[in-house]
Structure 1
Amino acid sequence: MIAFLTIIYTAVVVVVFRVLKVKPTPWPVALTITSGVLMLGTIVVLWTIAAPISTKAVVSRYVVPIVPYVKGQVVSIPALPNTPLHKGDVLYKVDPTPYQYAVDQAEAQLRSVKSNIVQLQAGIQVAEASVNAAQAGVTADKAAAQVAEAINKANPQAIAKLKLVEAQQQYEASQAKLAQARGNESQSRAALATAQDSVGVAEAQLASARFNLEQCTVRAPADGFITDWQIREGTFVTAMPFAAAGTFIDTTQTSIVAAFPAQMLVHVEPNQPVELAFKSRPGVLYRGEVDTVIQASGEGQFTTGGKLPSAAQVGSPGVLAVKIRLDPGVSVDELEMGSAGSVAIYTDWGKSLAMISKVTIRMKKWLYYLPIPGT
């Protein structure tokens, strides 16, 4: 459309100065130039709002730093760089020997605790039997004391009184023995409860040791591929975020994001049609829709810290990101991560101006065959 208007403008200029013989004095020339600039400028402004186009589109994926949960020496690396992997595939293995020792020790400790519980349960049975025997003794001695008391009342002789004292002392001794037996039973039950509680502790320690042993085998967190290996067999790895063993590219979710000046997104809304062209696929035109306009920008982020943000550093170029999804049946996974390209969005406002972007994006897809910087 701009080319068409430029041709019309040129034709008008030719008619005015050649056909109508208008003398090219400063005023007619200035008026002609001004009208041309205003006409084309207005068209360009309306065009960029009605069908914004950006050359800053990129294919992006999530990146996961591979950091081990346990430390140790790498013994094998089955995963090859840049080779497709499925979730759960082995990336590399850490020497499991010390962690196997920890599992063996925890299992032995759990067995010891359970064996102690069996012994304590047997001890409780013995204590219960002692209590029953002591209870029977108390009952018998109580009866003997009552008989001696009855005899003493009937014949208060010295021999009867002696028998009464002996029976009472025996009864008191039986009561003390019963109290002691009950105390032993309570002590045994308390020891059993403590031992039963220690079973949970021992099982938790065993579970922790087994978990650490499992973590010696580092697996793929999702479908994707590993790149930038920083380890070899024999490398000692540690569980530190800044000491990643490699970088994992998650291919389960691929996004296309394009950057636009904020003023060009006035009429952009989700589900509006888009067309894309990528440098890695020259001559191919992709179609899709606007997923969302990301209402956030890194320039507006304040990082929590002990230092106040500097007012001199506050500012933004006013660029927002638009997330795009391709039409069904078109696989975005075939596009390489980091592939750059151009995207045109066709809004519901000023649809007649969309033809300019349609022509431009189609020119872009063919120009990508040429190694032209900045295209």
Structure 2
Amino acid sequence: MTVALLILGFYALFMWLVFYKFQWLKFNIAWGVVSFWVGFHVLFLLIVFLRFYTPYTIDGHVIRQTIQIAPRLPHPTVLQEVYVSQNQKVKKGDQLYQFDPTLYAAQLAEAEANLANAQQNALILEENVVLAHDSLNQARANEQFANEQVNRYSNLVPRGGAKQETLDQWNAQLAGAEAQVAEAEANVKKAQLAVDAKFDGVNAQVAAAQSQVDQAQYYLDQTTIYAPEDGVIISQQARPGLVVGGFRVGSIAAFVADANPYFLATFYQEHLKFVEPGQPVEVALDIYPGQIFNGKVRAIWEGTGQGQIIPRGRVPEFLFMSPQGRFAVEIVLDDDPALKRYPAGAHGAAAIYTGGGGNWVAVLRRVNMRLYSWVNFIVPFDV
């Protein structure tokens, strides 16, 4: 709009100089129609050139990654200490919040006791295998002795050297010994199966107890929240005495990271016809009136929410008059790629110079950008 008004102003000044100031031509209805027709086409062509060869938008913002600080505690827990304040800069690993660890320390102690018991039981299972083998050896010895006695008395009874009752007794003892051997062998298998019940090479009971210890240790560690990386705390809502955990799902603060910020500007889709990564960009931020920042196109986000159909039980509705979605262009600034000086959400205008249409098109857009930047000294008018 600013460029269009400038063009109209210069054209009107030119017409005034021609027809009134120097009176090179005499103004009449015919010249009025011609002047209007020429001016309209000049303005139309200039606007088309500017829109496609130097796309421009006033919808640009500094984007910073944010992390929602949300306690991960399974039971209602009281917040004991808050170590950060609103808008405070923190470093990775700095302590932010401390919750009451009493319950989770007790759960960890219980889990560690269960682990010690499971480890002891694992040793007992190994000893049970040894005892089962000993019992098996004893049963086999009894079986062998009973078998020898049966053979001995089987030879003596026909000769009259022993009574049949004695042979019958040893046959009964042999049968009992054989049953004891079978039982001892089954006990050995049961003891060995108990020992072989392992997960990743560790006794199953010990592995289960260790997982409980790990879980208890995890939740105990979660009672202290540390800064995940360098950044700043925004919207610090927590106070000592706050109860979290259980059914609470909301965050207690927003953490704005220092790393990997970028400037994101949205453009109408048709204006990006000639835009490619690496092309020069000028950015005018509202928080720095009168300044122009140079940068380059990093990427074009060729997609909007209108191109996504969310799975649901209803047939999609397509509205013919629905406004088109704008595509976002990610921009990196040359003087400060890390955007250290720019807070999240800083608003501004951006212009991309594709190189087409000639230098005069770029000059007009540069004038437009500088007018926008200087107007920020007085707009908005809320003195």
SS state at 2:206 partner: helix
Aligned partners of 2:261 and 2:338 also within 8 Å: no
Deviation of 1:161 after TM superposition, in Å, equals: 3.5
What letter corresponds to residue 338 of structure 1 in structure 2? G
Residue 59 of structure 2 corresponds to which residue in structure 1?
Answer: 56
Deviation of 1:250 after TM superposition, in Å, equals: 1.9
Pick from 94, 97, 101: which aligns with 1:96? 101
Aligned partners of 2:122 and 2:206 also within 8 Å: no
Residue 265 of structure 2 corresponds to which residue in structure 1?
Answer: 258
Cα offsets for 1:231-275 (capped at 9, x unmatched): 100100136675211111122121101122223222111110011
Deviation of 1:137 after TM superposition, in Å, equals: 1.8
CA distance in 2, matches of 1:311, 1:140: 93
What letter corresponds to residue 93 of structure 1 in structure 2? Q
Aligned partners of 2:60 and 2:347 also within 8 Å: yes
What letter corresponds to residue 57 of structure 1 in structure 2? G
Residue 127 of structure 1 corresponds to which residue in structure 2?
Answer: 132
Deviation of 1:102 after TM superposition, in Å, equals: 1.0
1:279 pairs with 2:286: yes
1:366 pairs with 2:371: no
SS state at 2:343 partner: coil
Pick from 333, 337, 352: which aligns with 2:340? 333
CA distance in 1, matches of 2:127, 2:337: 72
1:291-310 → structure 2 map (5 Å cutoff): 291-310=298-317
CA distance in 1, matches of 2:229, 2:358: 42
Cα offsets for 1:117-139 (capped at 9, x unmatched): 22333233222112111211211
Cα offsets for 1:287-335 (capped at 9, x unmatched): 1111122112234444443455544596124532211012266541211
Deviation of 1:5 after TM superposition, in Å, equals: 9.0
Structure 1, unpaired ranges of 5+:
none
CA distance in 1, matches of 2:136, 2:307: 78
Aligned partners of 2:97 and 2:224 also within 8 Å: yes
Residue 90 of structure 2 corresponds to which residue in structure 1?
Answer: 85
Pick from 340, 365, 376: which aligns with 1:357? 365
Deviation of 1:76 after TM superposition, in Å, equals: 1.0
C-alpha spacing 1:241/1:345, structure 2 compared with 1 (3 Å)? farther
What letter corresponds to residue 295 of structure 1 in structure 2? E
Q: State the superposition RMSD in angstroms.
A: 2.8
Residue 70 of structure 2 corresponds to which residue in structure 1?
Answer: 67
CA distance in 2, matches of 1:239, 1:223: 29
What letter corresponds to residue 38 of structure 1 in structure 2? H
1:230 pairs with 2:237: yes
CA distance in 2, matches of 1:158, 1:370: 133
Cα offsets for 1:189-229 (capped at 9, x unmatched): 34445693222211111111111111111222332111112
C-alpha spacing 1:37/1:313, structure 2 compared with 1 (3 Å)? closer
1:141 pairs with 2:149: no
Residue 180 of structure 1 corresponds to which residue in structure 2?
Answer: 183
Pick from 289, 293, 306: which aligns with 2:296? 289
SS state at 1:332 partner: coil
Structure 2, unpaired ranges of 5+:
none
SS state at 1:333 partner: coil
CA distance in 1, matches of 2:193, 2:328: 66
How many residues align structurally?
371
Q: Give the structure-2-normalised TM-score.
A: 0.86
Deviation of 1:13 after TM superposition, in Å, equals: 5.7
C-alpha spacing 1:326/1:120, structure 2 compared with 1 (3 Å)? same
Q: Which moved more, 1:287-296 or 1:363-372?
A: 363-372
Residue 320 of structure 1 corresponds to which residue in structure 2?
Answer: 327
What letter corresponds to residue 102 of structure 1 in structure 2? Q
1:169 pairs with 2:172: yes
Deviation of 1:351 after TM superposition, in Å, equals: 3.1
What letter corresponds to residue 26 of structure 1 in structure 2? I
CA distance in 1, matches of 2:374, 2:186: 95
Percent same amino acid at aligned positions?
A: 25
Deviation of 1:354 after TM superposition, in Å, equals: 0.6
1:179-258 → structure 2 map (5 Å cutoff): 179-193=182-196, 196-238=203-245, 242-258=249-265
CA distance in 2, matches of 1:47, 1:254: 29
Pick from 338, 354, 357: which aligns with 1:347? 354
C-alpha spacing 1:202/1:39, structure 2 compared with 1 (3 Å)? same
C-alpha spacing 1:117/1:282, structure 2 compared with 1 (3 Å)? same
SS state at 2:288 partner: coil
CA distance in 1, matches of 2:235, 2:13: 57
C-alpha spacing 1:141/1:216, structure 2 compared with 1 (3 Å)? same
Q: Which moved more, 1:38-47 or 1:179-188?
A: 179-188
CA distance in 1, matches of 2:169, 2:246: 77
CA distance in 1, matches of 2:240, 2:11: 72
Aligned partners of 1:68 and 1:239 also within 8 Å: no
Pick from 112, 116, 124: which aligns with 1:111? 116
SS state at 1:258 partner: strand
Deviation of 1:110 after TM superposition, in Å, equals: 1.4
Deviation of 1:356 after TM superposition, in Å, equals: 0.8
SS state at 2:261 partner: strand
What letter corresponds to residue 368 of structure 1 in structure 2? N
What letter corresponds to residue 124 of structure 1 in structure 2? V
CA distance in 2, matches of 1:293, 1:277: 20
